[in-house]
Structure 1
Amino acid sequence: MRRSVARRFAAVLATAAVIVAGVALSINNASAATGGVTGYATQNGGTTGGAGGATVKATTGTQIHAALCNRASSSTPITIQVEGTINHGNTTAVSGDSCNTAASVIELKQISNVTIIGVGAGAVFDQIGIHIREASNIIIQNVTVKNVKKSGSPISNGGDAIGMEAGVRNVWVDHTTLEASGGEAEGYDGLFDMKNDTKYVTLSYSILRNSERGGLVGSSETDLTNSFITYHHNLYQNLNSRVPLLRGGTAHVYNNHYVGIVESGINSRAGGKAKVDNNYFEDSKDVLGTFYTEERGTWQTSGNILDNVTWSSDGTDNHPAGPSMPSTTTVSIPYNFALDNASCVPSVVSQTAGANKGLQVSDGSCSVQTPSQNPTNPTTGPTDPGTSPTNPPTGNNLSVGAGADGSSKADGTSYGSVLDGNMSTYWSPSGTTGRVSVKWGSAVTVDTINIREAAGSEGNIDNWQVVNNANGAVLASGTGAGVISFAATSLTKINFVITSASGTPKIAEFETYA
């Protein structure tokens, strides 16, 4: 079977240029996105992209950069509707106070609150990648990115079709087609990579195909600051490996269709934790395990279907999970999701995944629908680091005039800083875990809190609990900071308990609301 998969991989690559050249012919008219943000991108305050801002049209890469640079600030919301072919010849750098662009690459650097969506006859990024750096609250939807090279002048610019690194937060990539025409020897790299502290990302209803490398989380065994990624309803087709490669961090992988994976599939290593639910693995090899290292990862599995999957033997640097793929850990998922039965995943994914499919989604019961909700205007907004959240809770902040204490505090920080309304002051525990509390002289009713992190520390908080101090009752638990809601509770003291963190937590404000 392995030889047959390899032959099919080579055959498809030989015709890939013909396939991708015809993509634009089938693109539906999509003047605005439909469907809501899902997965880990709903956490840490949510992902809204350019909701509430201006909408502009772009037909060249230079126009995309100009739209970013013409904003009032680097965080002013904007939706950029893209139609046509974006390539090296029409993508130049544009200067401005609200952008940091470069030639021959779509550069989303040091910015926030941006949506890029393909419309009309379709958007094809031809041999030019989308780079997301030091950015937050980004939506990319209904676009094709093809044949991006990391080497092989004159058409090379980093290698990743979509790449994220350096403190990226809250990215939703949806209904995209990401493809190459070969592997590293031909100059191609990853299709969907995350490095250097990237968190709260969802890849949904997308096609990744015809490449040696699907995508990685973490650039090395020491780059373990990336986490909280959801992959669902994607087609992984004719790929060699990295679907994904997970170094550390937590990933939720559900309802994906894997076809023709040649060497290795979901590669959880270096402490990575993958929850693998209701996927359909077909004509593939070693679809789950720890590969190419002794630094083991773990997984929790349920409901998957293995259709003509083969397994190698366990050995040095090679630890496949098959043939039965038993769970080796448990993974708690903080958001709601509906699982299609794995048996219908190939049909559902074929109807929904990729650009120019009408933005159709699964209803969670093996049927396909075109949802009415606009994802650029969801009900919750992201935490904008160092500023006010874009959609804070309504009503009076009950923390004003209250008291504060905690389990410990780092030198130079104060419990009272979480109540002073100043985002430049903050509390940190003496380590990476600890408790900070808001307290009142008499009982108040609280149903929502807003944990706002100081600039530069966004996403350091991994797992937390909200606790009623009087009786120890856990009111809510989850990952990441931001707006947290729970059943209305009368109390005199409320605790925010950090149980794990990937960096030093710095809480600037602990707001409470009824």
Structure 2
Amino acid sequence: MTAVSAILAVPQASAAVGGVTGFATQNGGTTGGAGGQTVRATTGTAIHAALCSRASSSTPIIIQVEGTINHGNTSKVSGASCNTADGLIELKDISNVTILGVGGGAVFDQLGIHIRNSRNIIIQNVTVRNVKKSGSPTSNGGDAIGMEDNVRNVWVDHVTLEASGGESEGFDGLFDMKNNTQYVTLSYSILRNSGRGGLIGSSESDRSNGFVTFHHNKYENIDSRTPLLRGGIAHIYNNHYVNLHESGINSRAGAKAKVDNNYFKDSKDVLGTFYTSEAGYWQVSGNTFDNVTWSARSSDHNPAGPNPQSNTTVSIPYSYRLDGANCVPGVISQTAGANKGLQVSDGNCTPQ
């Protein structure tokens, strides 16, 4: 008997502020632009102009985006309440902002979103695709969404992040956090067709990041880094991983990952410490490993399988409900990604 999880619909035209989950609920919570003015933008320049039109850099604002945002329509705008740049969406030195895809959808085409020295940001219901660090055009160091330099409280929800290859084709990470980025949740999103899913920490010494939740996301056709975690704590639950070619969740340099009720399929070395001798740790429960292969251990390659066991404990400070791993593929196929109506699982699915 297969359990069926009910689906709850959230109106697409408004930000689901009450739906924030995971570590983004901590440290005072994440509300984005709730309570502020709602404006419409169909170009990147209009997004920057909306930020610059605020009374201050912390005045709440909800920016509804529709259409294709690209290099041709994204320019720097100046003002006392913003710090923007050409060639990317720059959320720098600001707070209390929601960017929400509406209508026929919002696509950031070859144009990344950069969050720097900012807090209380929500990005919801958008697609970011084919952002390059080499070749032409380039944007955001090749990251679809990148966060760095004292970032706090970011909720990224129901987005689709995709590339068309790996580093040799000019792409970098889909979802990167560096240099003191904390209290982040990525939920109900699709990350696909990339060499690198994303990282937390730019090097073994960059251990100031963490408190990140990944839930109800689909990682598909990714080489590695789903995510790469250097130091810090991550809670990784109810995700669907398909066709991870080299490695998956890479906990290293003292990091701790709580890995619950995920579904791994047709993949290799989906959990462990890889490409370093600096160990990371994991607590595992309820995961399904469907046609997962494991390579042999060596000094800098420590896969958790073939029978993954916990080697740490991780305390989670917020409440959450786990879908059973057996129904994760079905739930995520209905809910994850942009333009799905912001649907979520009610958490009633249990293992058969």
Q: TM-score range by the shorter chain?
A: over 0.9
- Aligned partners of 1:290 and 1:296 also within 8 Å: yes
How far the C-alpha of 1:279 sits from its partner, in A, is 0.1
> Which residue, 78, 85, 89 being the options, matches 1:102?
85
1 CA distance for matches of 2:40 and 2:214? 29
Does residue 353 of the first structure (1) align with residue 336 of the second (2)?
Answer: yes
Provide, for residues 52-99 of structure 1, a one-character-per-residue CA deviation record: whole Å limited to 9, x for no partner. 100000000000000000000000000000000000000000000000
Q: In the alignment, is the contact (CA less than 8 A) between 1:274 and 1:300 conserved in 2? A: yes
Q: Is the 8 A contact 1:292 1:318 kept in 2?
A: yes
Is 1:205 the counterpart of 2:201 in the alignment? no
Kindly state the Cα deviation for residue 166 of structure 1 after the two structures are TM-superposed.
Answer: 0.1
Name which of 22, 43, 46 aligns with 2:29. 46
1:351 and 1:121 map into 2 onto residues whose CA distance is 18
Question: Any stretches of 5+ residues in structure 2 without a counterpart?
Answer: 1-9
One-letter amino acid matched to 2:107: V
* 1:86 equivalent in structure 2: 69
The structure showing larger relative contact order (alpha-carbon pairs under 8 Å, at least 6 residues apart) is 2
TM-score (norm 2): 0.95
Q: Matched residues in 2 for 1:211 and 1:267: separation?
A: 16
Of 49-58 and 148-157, the range deviating more from structure 2: 148-157
Change over 3 Å in CA distance of 1:157–1:333 after alignment to 2:
closer
> SS at the partner of 2:47?
helix
Correspondent of 1:174 among 142, 157, 176: 157
Aligned residue type for 1:122:
G
TM-fit CA distance, 1:158: 1.4
Conserved 8 A contact 1:268-1:297: yes
* More divergent stretch after superposition (32-41 vs 76-85): 32-41
- When Rg is computed on C-alpha atoms for both structures, the one with the higher figure is 1
Partner residue of 1:238 out of 221, 228, 233: 221
Give, in angstroms, the shift of residue 156 of structure 1. 3.8
Structure 1: unaligned runs, 5 residues or longer = 1-27, 368-514
Aligned equivalent of 2:322: 339
Q: Secondary structure at the match of 2:347?
A: coil
User: Counterpart amino acid of 1:150?
Assistant: K
Contact kept, 8 Å, 1:29 with 1:119, in 2: the verdict is no
1:303 to 286, 303, 317: 286
Query: Which of 248, 251, 273 is the equivalent residue of 2:231?
Result: 248
Maintained 8 Å contact 2:113/2:140: no
Of the candidates 32, 35, 38, which is equivalent to residue 14 of structure 2? 32
Contact kept? 2:110, 2:137, Cα under 8 Å: no
Q: Which residue in the other structure is 1:59 paired with? A: 42
1: CA distance, partners of 2:210 / 2:137: 34
Distance 2:82 2:125 in 1: 23
Give me the whole-angstrom Cα distance separating, in 2, the residues matched to 1:291 and 1:131: 28
Query: Is residue 271 of structure 2 the alignment partner of residue 291 of structure 1?
Result: no
Q: Is 2:346 the partner of 1:363?
A: yes
Aligned residues: 340
SS at match of 1:158: helix
CA RMSD, 1 decimal: 1.1
Partner of 1:260 in structure 2? 243
User: How far apart are residue 365 of structure 1 and its match?
Assistant: 1.1
Amino acid at match of 2:111: I
Instruction: Give SS of 1:271's match.
Output: coil
Give the letter for the 1:30 counterpart.
Q
Matching residue of 2:120: 137
Measure the CA separation in 2 of the matches of 1:287 and 1:157.
28
Counterpart Cα distance in 2 of 1:90 and 1:165? 25
Letter in 1 for 2:15: A
Mapped partners of 1:228, 1:154: distance in 2: 33
- Counterpart contact for 1:182–1:211, Cα < 8 Å: yes
For 1:409-428, what aligned pairs fall within 5 Å after superposition?
none
CA positional deviation for 1:111: 0.1
Asked if 1 retains the 8 angstrom alpha-carbon contact of 2:112 and 2:139, the reply is: no
Matched, 1:125 2:108: yes
Q: CA deviation at 1:153?
A: 2.8
Report runs of 4+ in structure 1 exceeding 4 Å deviation: none
1:226 aligns with 2:218: no
Aligned mate of 2:171, from 172, 188, 203? 188
Alignment of 1:488-503 (within 5 A): none
How far apart are 1:340 and its partner, in Å?
Answer: 0.2
* Cα displacement (A) at 1:29: 8.2
CA distance in 2, matches of 1:68, 1:358: 26
Does structure 1 residue 278 correspond to structure 2 residue 261? yes
Structure 1 residue 155: deviation in Å? 3.7
Contact 1:173 1:204 in 2 (8 A): yes
C-alpha distance in 2 between matches for 1:154 and 1:288 = 34
SS in 1 for 2:142: coil
